[in-house]
Chains A and B, each alone.
Chain A
């Protein structure tokens, strides 16, 4: 018997689940989608949180569930568990995101508890003191992780004094935060206007909306809205070398300009990024991993935030091949910026982009994440279909143009975290190097 690669079957159409949406009188937007595969529900509440005091906002997100007038930390957690649920909060410079899930039969109770916390979080002194020290320890821990340190250096380099420039507070700043400040910040910023609640699970969307309205209709608060200034584009300059004496690997990070999801260039840029380094079967990964063995998990991706988008290139490479890895990275960026991709590699990237849209929308958690992320940019699930159509239509010339515009190595901001004594010399042979202060 011969063994020949089978052709693909007819492409499966992207079939979007039905969504329902309601804006409550208090300003909260609720979006619900049914996926009945498992008897669960996924919950995402996105509250805009730009320009909040970083240390206070960080501690607030960590202390949100530590008690209300009527309930303790343990009681809140226990009541959530009783319906198979859990909730937690996370922060970035755009938003506070409360995420959770539970048995669908417990949705009413889970939303009641969410409302209890939103309207009545008390930030009790003892509990806040505990969380304050835990957060300070976490920050100290993060400071020992090369991926974190490289990210911190890149953000600072790219964004400077923009609120995106520093996204982790200092431990000392956290230790200075008082519970009254958390209560004040909560009152000012945690309100339904502009917030979006996403519910995805095994129940009719209208029922989910009713449940949300019943539980969260009473959530209120005027509060202020803040807006971020546009994020600056990466401004190229000398490679920033951050010393980590004795490091056995160097963390190579680059930032390149990018455009938001709704920009006409976005689909072409996404495809260009895939061809460069955005998936395993990309030029860069095949080169520096599968050919050269310099690294394990290199990746490049377009990161979207409300004030701007950026393309980042990330690889952790053995110390002794730091300069060769930078050389190959610049080469692959330059090759795609200067020469159009092959039709075949464009088709491969296109199929990957379209296929992963299907995969991402195939679970409750995937749908909830996608909906919530889109909602942060004023988009709904129908954008998925629009984006798929744009990916399908992008031409080779458009992808080449996007690569020339956005992937040009001349536009890259580059940061390397590693053993400066060992990697500084070889890197200087390739580009101007500036040691970090």
Chain B
């Protein structure tokens, strides 16, 4: 038996300040490679889009790339890539991010580009129609034209939740997307894309004083607008199991996903962390509990995975959220049997606890994952930006491996005990469209 390995930590220095217009800025210098990651994160996501406008937060993200005051359409892409960089953006439940990774001699250029669209994107009918078409193709390629499209991230929330913000399809219906107007977009920008509702992070090859001056130069004159108050999206926990199934004509094999509500990731971080570890105890690698039971012993599933948050981002999601398990079954597989075995394994963990070394090895592996994510300047910039936005604590990035390592067996047992069938929402994919 190997002795317990020491969990290491990173020591990225973190510099925070706020501009007069309310923009919060985080700088994290690390000169080990001549590259920088720049992230602008806005505190608006899928949960904030209005009824009748499903998919709008994501559509709007596309519109932020279509030009701004000093940038023609296509200019953003060309300026980033012509500087040797890469870019993207993505829309999440609670935030929307825009980012670049570039050789560090292009840092100021990236700041200029982000500032220009923070002052306001160029919203035109032509660009809107074009991007509605692009988004429809995105939905076709990721959801409609493939098996298991949107499973379970789009399919399980409406089973678990009752209110529109938490339950609706974040990719959006084609009807809603086609109904979107330029005025909707202008209103959405006005309301949510205020400097005070955003965080800017730069990580990597930078000098803090120089970078601070550049940020002030480019973002200083972004007009101050009030940040909207974030609505309360709370919903009560389930008191009885909820089940649903749907046919997927393209899917060859059955699949199932189950979710349980977890403590508030922000206000009750200490209560939440054990669930993050529990998901890995259950599913990470061949030695994980459910892997051993369902894949290797029972052979009732071919793959099983577990994670926190419908989009699989444990440290970038707010309440209400869930621990999810998902599994693909062999031909003719029995979902009931799988869920029963999951219940038995949770019981066994809750009553018997972990075996010798089991928790420590899972924690060591989680440390590797966390450290690996932060080796890339962009991974660091994005995580720090959201930690600042949701918690005001970007330096938490350095502490996560240690905090994960401090979760105790008792906490794991309690978390496992809380995943009762009567608090569960589950959805089943019926292959081939047969009921």
Residues of A within 8 A of B (CB): 1, 3-6, 8-13, 15, 35-40, 65, 73-86, 101-103, 105-106, 109, 127, 130, 133-134, 137-138, 140-141, 143-147, 247-249, 279-281, 286, 289-297, 316-318, 347-348, 351-352, 354-356, 358-359, 361-366
Contact = CB atoms under 8 A, between A and B. Distances in A.
Interface string B113-144: 00110000000000001111111111011001
19 contacts: A1-B221, A5-B79, A8-B106, A38-B10, A38-B374, A73-B286, A81-B287, A103-B368, A109-B2, A130-B296, A134-B295, A137-B253, A137-B328, A247-B145, A293-B133, A296-B141, A316-B140, A352-B85, A359-B86
Nearest to A145: B146
Contact of A133 (B34, B82, B86, B302): B302
B372 A101 contact: yes
Interface residues of B, number: 87
B81 A81 contact: no
Interface string B323-349: 000001011000000000000000000
Most B-side CB within 10 Å, residue of A12, A146, A147, A318: A12
Of all A-B residue pairs in the complex, the 10 with the closest CB atoms, nearest first, are A355-B84, A293-B133, A9-B105, A12-B34, A77-B286, A362-B33, A81-B361, A77-B287, A84-B364, A78-B287
A361 to B, nearest CB: 7
Contact of A9 (B69, B108, B367): B108
B70 A352 contact: no
Contacts of B81: 279-281, 348, 351-352, 355
Contact of B105 (A8, A40, A133, A147): A8
Given A8-B83, A78-B357, A105-B5, 16 more contacts: A5-B70, A38-B371, A65-B286, A74-B292, A103-B368, A127-B296, A137-B253, A137-B302, A141-B252, A144-B251, A145-B147, A147-B146, A289-B134, A359-B35, A363-B33, A363-B376
Interface string B373-403: 0111100000000000000000000000000
A144 B137 contact: no
A146 B367 CA distance: 36
B286 A248 contact: no
A295 B368 CA distance: 37
B293 to A, nearest CB: 11
Contacts of A366: 376
Contacts of B361: 78, 81-82
B109 interface: yes
Contacts of A362: 33-35, 376-377
B137 A317 contact: yes
B299 interface: yes
Contacts of B292: 74
Interface stretch (B17-25, B96-104, B189-197, B264-272): B96-104
Given A141-B328, A145-B146, A39 B8 contact: yes
B229 interface: no
B91 to A, nearest CB: 14
A356 B84 CA distance: 6
B6 interface: yes
A276 to B, nearest CB: 14
A3 B129 CA distance: 28
Contacts of A147: 146
Contact of B253 (A5, A141, A354): A141
Contacts of A38: 10, 371-372, 374-375
Interface in B145-165: 145-147
